[in-house]
Chain A
Amino acid sequence: GESVGLHLPTLSVQEGDNSIINCAYSNSASDYFIWYKQESGKGPQFIIDIRSNMDKRQGQRVTVLLNKTVKHLSLQIAATQPGDSAVYFCAENAGGTSYGKLTFGQGTILTVHP
C-alpha cells in the first residue's frame, strides 16, 4: 500500500528568540544521546551529546537537558538565527552490545523568521 510520510512537528520562531526542541525516548536502557541538525540535501550534522550520568550539558549557544525519570530530552538554542533553520533529530544508543546503533526520533522542523 501507499506509505504515509512522517508528520514532523514544527517550531517557528523569530530571529533572536530562544528555541526549545523536545524529544521523548522509549528505551530506559539508553545511556547516550545525541542531537543532530539536518539541512536540506545534507547529512545530519552533530550538535551536542550527553551521557546518562549527566542531566545537562552546554555547548556554544546550545544546551541539552536530559530527564531520565520521564525519558525526555530537550535541545535549547539561544538567540536563534536564520541559519539554524533545519530539521533537528534526537538519537539514542542503548550501550552494551548496541554498537554504533543510533535510534532516531522523527525529527522537528525549526523555521527561523528574520
Chain B
Amino acid sequence: KAGVTQTPRYLIKTRGQQVTLSCSPISGHRSVSWYQQTPGQGLQFLFEYFSETQRNKGNFPGRFSGRQFSNSRSEMNVSTLELGDSALYLCASSFGGPVGMNTEAFFGQGTRLTVV
C-alpha cells in the first residue's frame, strides 16, 4: 500500500514568486492536512481538506491557500513568497471519519522549500 506522496521533494524559489506543492494521500483516505515545519516554530497546522472542502484552517496569512480534487489529491499554494516561508511543508492523510471521530494521520516526506 503506497504511502503519502509529496512532490516535489525540494524547491528553491525567489522572493515574490509563488509556489504550488502537491500531495497524494493514501488510497482510500479522504482527509488531507498541511503543516509547516521550521526550527523556530516547530510543526504548525495550515489547513485541512475533506471531500474537496476546507474544513479547518490555521493562523496563516491569506498568501497560503489550498485545494483538494475529487480524487483526494491536494495542492497548496503560497503566493508572494517571503524569506520566512522557507520551511519543510508536510501533508498528512487520514480517513477523516464522522464529526468528532479522529483517525490515524500519516505523513509524507515533505517538500523542502527554500526562498532566496
A interface residues, Cβ below 8 angstroms from B: 3-6, 31-32, 34, 36, 42-46, 49, 51, 89, 91, 93, 95-107
Q: Chain B interface secondary structure, helix, strand, loop or mixed?
A: strand
The reply to whether the CB of B24 lies closer than 8 angstroms to some CB of chain A is no
Max chain A C-beta neighbours (<10 A), residue from B38, B45, B96, B109 = B45
Q: Which residues of B are in contact with A by a Cβ distance under 8 Å?
A: 4, 6, 31-33, 35, 38-45, 48-50, 55-56, 58, 84, 90, 92, 94, 96, 99-100, 102, 104-110
- Which of A89, A95, A98, A100 contacts B94, CB < 8 Å? A100
Min CB distance A74 to B, Å, is 19
Shortest CB–CB separation between residue A36 and chain B, in angstroms? 7
Expressed in whole angstroms, the minimum distance between the Cβ of B72 and any Cβ of chain A is 13
Q: How far is the CA of A102 from the CA of B45 in the complex (A)?
A: 7
- B-chain residues with CB within 8 Å of residue A97 when the two chains form the complex: 55-56, 99
Say yes or no: A42 contacts B109, CB within 8 Å.
Answer: yes
Assuming A51-B102, A100-B94, is B55 touching A44 (CB within 8 A)?
A: no
Distance A98 CA – B84 CA, assembled complex (angstroms): 26
Contact check, A4 vs B104: say whether CB atoms are below 8 A apart. no
Q: What A residues does B50 contact at CB under 8 A? A: 99-100
Report yes or no: A43 in contact with B108, Cβ–Cβ below 8 A. yes
Contact present for B56 and A99 (CB under 8 Å): yes
**Contact present for A31 and B102 (CB under 8 Å):** yes
Q: What are 26 A-B residue pairs whose CB atoms fall within 8 Å in the complex?
A: A3-B39, A3-B40, A3-B41, A5-B39, A6-B39, A6-B41, A34-B104, A42-B110, A43-B6, A43-B109, A44-B90, A89-B43, A91-B43, A93-B102, A97-B55, A99-B55, A99-B96, A100-B31, A100-B49, A100-B55, A101-B58, A102-B33, A102-B43, A102-B45, A104-B35, A106-B42
Which residue of chain A lies nearest to B3 when distances are taken between CB atoms in the complex? A43
Residues of B contacting A45 in the complex (Cβ-Cβ under 8 angstroms): 107
* Residue of chain A at shortest CB distance from B101: A95
Query: A95 and B105: CB pair below 8 A?
Result: no
Which residues of chain B have C-beta atoms less than 8 A from A102's C-beta?
A: 33, 35, 43, 45, 92, 105
Would you call A96 and B99 a contact (CB within 8 A)? yes
